[in-house]
A = this chain, B = another copy of it.
Amino acid sequence: MKQERMSAFVKDGRSMLLAYDQGLEHGPSTDFNDTNIDPSFVMELAVKGRFDGVIFQKGVAERFYTGGVPLIVKVNGKSALVKGDPISRQVCSVEYAVSLGAKGIGYTIYLGSEHEAEMFAEFGLIQEQAHERGLPAIAWVYPRGAAITNDTTKEVVSYAARSALELGADAAKIKYTGDPVSFSWAVKAGAGMKVFMSGGPKAPTDEAFLKQVQGAMDAGATGLAVGRNAWQNADPLQMAAELRKVIHERLKVEKPLSTPGSQTP
């Protein structure tokens, strides 16, 4: 049943998703250049790069989603300009997301934030509304707040995965711990829920990034939700091809690209 809900995004048990909500979450000047500031570029990349899903906020989905790859609408969001423990509230109804063509609903939970309870409650409702329509609810779980000094420890990352499982998420997007052994504990904590490694900021080299992905897959992850490491890359289609090798073709990472990713936003 759960498997079925994620089946739009997961064909061979593995999946690579292209995320593009950074314009809201980080701001256009932080993450974008003249090319990737254009959602059409990313929409095209999602299709040509043969990603298994593309992730947009409602506004971008409404204007730029063209089909050809299944859509996940992130239904909450915040800017990077607010200080203090983060809260991200629902800005798109599940019904509206469905009207835009969404096959999955994304929601960010800042685990450990002093506003955690509000996001738990909101996700609880959204998850049920999504399931009512047969759609998966995918939780971005990012630990934050006074108790979190390092958000990539085994303990913290596995807590993120487990929280998503217990709250009824069909999949979780969590940070990589840095090595497959500790990340496999997070996957185990997910107990069969799909676990996606979060791409995070642009890695120093493509190879470094692909090795992280490899590590996550080795640890049992379902795949990757990648943003900046794809559309900030000097050759995004090539990066997509490399990711497919690691994720779908199950090839080991060597030195995949002649030139390390040098593009800056």
Contacts and interface: CB of A to CB of B under 8 A. Distances in A.
Nearest to A143: B81
Interface string A124-156: 110110000000000000010111100000110
Contacts of A145: 81-83
A246 interface: no
A57 interface: yes
A15 B30 CA distance: 30
Interface in A146-199: 146-148, 154-155, 158-159, 161-169, 185, 188-189, 191-193
B146 A83 contact: yes
Given A29-B155, A82-B113, A124-B92, A63 B147 contact: no
Contacts of A92: 124, 128, 168
Contact of A62 (B2, B57, B80, B188): B2
Nearest to A123: B91
Contact of A165 (B59, B147, B192): B59
A91 B168 CA distance: 9
Contact of A90 (B90, B116, B124, B159): B124
B147 A83 contact: yes
Contacts of A87: 117
Given A37-B188, A191-B39, A167 B77 contact: yes
A200 interface: no
A230 B75 CA distance: 39
Interface string A189-223: 10111000000000000000000000000000000
Interface string A26-38: 0111101010011
- The 7 lowest CB-CB distance pairs between A and B, nearest first, are A81-B112, A91-B124, A59-B168, A24-B166, A57-B166, A28-B189, A89-B121
Interface of A: 1-2, 21, 23-24, 27-30, 32, 34, 37-39, 57-60, 62-64, 77-84, 87-93, 96, 111-114, 116-118, 120-121, 123-125, 127-128, 143, 145-148, 154-155, 158-159, 161-169, 185, 188-189, 191-193
16 contacts: A23-B163, A24-B166, A24-B167, A29-B159, A32-B189, A58-B124, A58-B127, A59-B167, A60-B165, A62-B168, A63-B165, A77-B167, A81-B143, A91-B167, A91-B168, A92-B168
